[in-house]
Amino acid sequence: MDDPQRDGKLPEPEPKETPTAGITPRIKAAVSIAAFAAAVVAGGPAAATPAGGAGSMAERVTAVRLALSRRLDGEKQLWGATPPDLPFPQQELAQWGNWNNWGNWNNWRDWNNWHDWANAWTNWVNI
Amino acid sequence: MTGREKVRGEGIDLLILQPTPFCNIDCDYCYLSSRSSTKRLAPATLRAALTKVLASGLVQGPLSIVWHAGEPLALPLAFYEEAFAVIASAVGGDQEVSHSIQTNATLVNDRWCRFIRQHQVKIGVSLDGPAFLHDAHRRDRRGKGTHARVMAGVKCLQANDVPFHVIAVITAQALGHPDEVMEFFLEHGIRNVGFNIEELEGTHGESTLTAPAHRQAVLAFLRRVYEYHCAANGAIRVREFDRAYQAIATADVGSSTAAKTANDQVRPFGIVSIDCDGNLSTFSPELLGARSPQFGNFLFGNVNQVDLADVLLHPVFREVANEIATGVELCSRSCEYFPFCGGGAPSNKYFENGTFASTETMYCRYVIKAPLDIVLADLERSLSLAH
């Protein structure tokens, strides 16, 4: 029997009429759609990261994150609770990221405004 | 933050509603096919749309509604007063809803501004920069440029303290003028700008940017825009570079699944688009109203007749979903930008490459890859990292 995960094709959806005790139609629909969507995005065997070696995008991004983290840690120790205005573009990245235990550093300056505004942009993907 | 925070990748991120296909202007790069039709979304259809979307159980946080796919302000204000009331009663008090409108701004007036402020509607204005660039493509049906009317709308928004962002389309004519474009926005107090490229989509089957000779020119344009973005020290923000910062900061570079789920254009029901007749589409918003010999009109059911779960049984939906999934898989295997993108824009793949089961498009090159390259190189330079 074909394995839909393996050949990248979609599994047949669960018949809508299937009686499932204790599950409301609304939840059944959500489960059905969510399972379907998950099958689509997970379709096919796990992909190897293309060009994951030296000089790859993944490696360069990891190096940037590490260097930025070190620099910010150093500046945090230097400046204590009142961080300086970092020059662009590090300041930007510091405001975006939630990674690497920056804690309250994410709250400095206009973090909340930036964050709201960034969320607004996400609604305009390719429109 | 609310108690019902949305988890991206697990439900409906965006609901696009077409109040009318009609547009009062006639841009030559528009991808919409029915912009002379004066049909409008009926209250009963709107109620059915909201009811079906919420009944699906896929709305897991605040629901973002974008009024688009025509000129929303071409309808009278009374339409929205009724529509917002219908939505409020359909969703109930527990469901947070936010509204956004993408407009050409030519019809903005003080009354619209009051309504926009009252309902905290997020506004996007389509404006391509100075008049000589804007009016080259954004004209009315008599062939007259619309720049002066758009700027009157922009001034009205500003006078009424209505925040807005601008979406500008990059055409071949703009490539030699990044300074004029950015200076124009700065001069007019426009602080948030997104750049769309002129794409091959829907009825717009040609783009002035397709010539290979333009590739370096587009990259040069974006590099110059980035210099402004940095030098302005926050006075103007460019969406593509902020997205690149966000992607560099947060992308899960070790997981292909995380990238796929973060791209709501490749995920069924990540974006749900409903036209003024109640017809439903999903994946890329540009598929709504488009036509194809293979897939018809990309409509997978009507909210007046079916539930969202029924869409899963629609044969064309399944064919489209399978082909999009194949395209995403091809991207994940061949593109090192995949962790930051998640599989591109299906509509661009289809209209540019002839199939969803394909990879790179102009959108990839200029909206995903180029901004990432520019920002990453700048970060490396400023952090003294050799590359």
Residue environment code for B103-131, b if the CB has 16+ CB neighbours within 10 A, otherwise e: bbbbbbeeebbeebeeeebbbbbbbbbbb
| CB nearest B312 (choices: A13, A65, A120) | A13
pLDDT at B60: 85
CA pseudo-torsion sign B209, B245, B191, B63: positive
DSSP count for chain B of H helices, then E strands: 15, 9
Name the average pLDDT for chain B.
Answer: 89
Q: Which of B57, B318, B378 sits opposite A27 (nearest CB)?
A: B57
**One-letter identity of residue B346:** P
What is d(CA B188, CA B182) in angstroms, rounded to the nearest whole number?
A: 10
- The pLDDT of residue B32: 77
The sign of the CA dihedral B153, B159, B165, B166 is positive
- Residue spans per domain, chain B: 14-250
User: Which pLDDT score is estimated for A25?
Assistant: 43
Nearest partner of B263 among B164, B347, B365, B377, judged by Cα:
B347
| Domain B14-250 CATH class label | alpha beta
If we measure between CA atoms, which residue out of B176, B232, B166, B226 comes closest to residue B196?
A: B166
Which band of pLDDT confidence, cut at 50, 70 and 90, is reported for residue B40? very high
Q: Under an 8 A CB cutoff, do B167 and A127 touch?
A: yes
Determine the residue type at A47.
A
- A1-25 pLDDT tens trace: 344 344 444 444 444 433 333 334 4
Pairing of strands B280-282, B122-126: unpaired
Q: Residue B181 has what pLDDT?
A: 97
Extents of the domains making up chain A: 4-41, 65-118
Q: Which residue has the higher pLDDT, B331 or A107?
A: B331
Q: Distance (Å) from the C-alpha of residue B334 to the closest C-alpha of chain A?
A: 6
In angstroms, the separation between the Cα of residue A43 and the nearest Cα of chain B is: 7
State the pLDDT at residue B296.
94
For residue B387, is pLDDT > 70? no
User: Which of B91, B271, B357 has its CA nearest to residue A123?
Assistant: B271
Tokens 């701004």 -> residue: B105
CA distances from B162 to A123, B154, B256 (A): 18, 9, 40
